[in-house]
């Protein structure tokens, strides 16, 4: 996995995320941010950030099958989590991410 350490991350199936985070379905102003990685057959297919992991996994039905594994961590600092998202996209080059994968692309943050 390109020397990326995710052993300490939360690890769930799609069904487990929806069951365990069902309480977020009515939350509009969550002050926590989730950095998440979706793996399918041991390959990272998507990296993202959301303040509501429940709704984001619902919307990712095309990227997240029943066999997918979702790793995530919670953060309070939005700027920090967005920088980490950029880092993981560059390292893992997931097939469903286009942001930060092109060398000439505009970026949200400077290195």
Does the 10-92 domain belong in CATH 3.30.1760? no
Q: For residue 104, name the pLDDT band (cuts at 50, 70, 90).
A: low
Of the listed ranges 41-45, 69-73, 98-102, the least confidently predicted one is 98-102
Cα–Cα separations (whole angstroms), residue 31 to 50, 52, 78? 10, 10, 9
Q: What is the mean pLDDT of residues 83-93?
A: 93
Q: What is the mean pLDDT of residues 50-74?
A: 91
The dihedrals phi and psi of 62, each to the nearest 5 degrees, come to: -80, -20
Write the CB contacts of 8 (distance below 8 Å, at least 6 apart in sequence): none
Q: What was the pLDDT predicted at 87? A: 93
pTM tops 0.85: no
Q: What was the pLDDT predicted at 29? A: 79
Write the CB contacts of 42 (distance below 8 Å, at least 6 apart in sequence): none
């Amino acid at each position: 996995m390109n020397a990326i350490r995710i052993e300490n991350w939360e690890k769930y199936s799609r069904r487990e995320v929806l069951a365990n985070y069902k309480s977020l379905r009515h939350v509009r102003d969550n002050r926590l941010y989730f950095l998440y990685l979706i793996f399918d057959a041991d390959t990272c297919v998507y990296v993202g950030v959301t303040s509501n992991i429940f709704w984001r996994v619902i919307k990712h039905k095309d990227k997240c099958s029943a066999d997918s594994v979702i790793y995530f961590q919670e953060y309070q600092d939005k700027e920090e989590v967005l920088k980490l998202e950029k880092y993981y996209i560059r390292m893992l080059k997931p097939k469903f991410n286009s942001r930060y994968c092109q060398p000439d692309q505009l970026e949200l943050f400077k290195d």
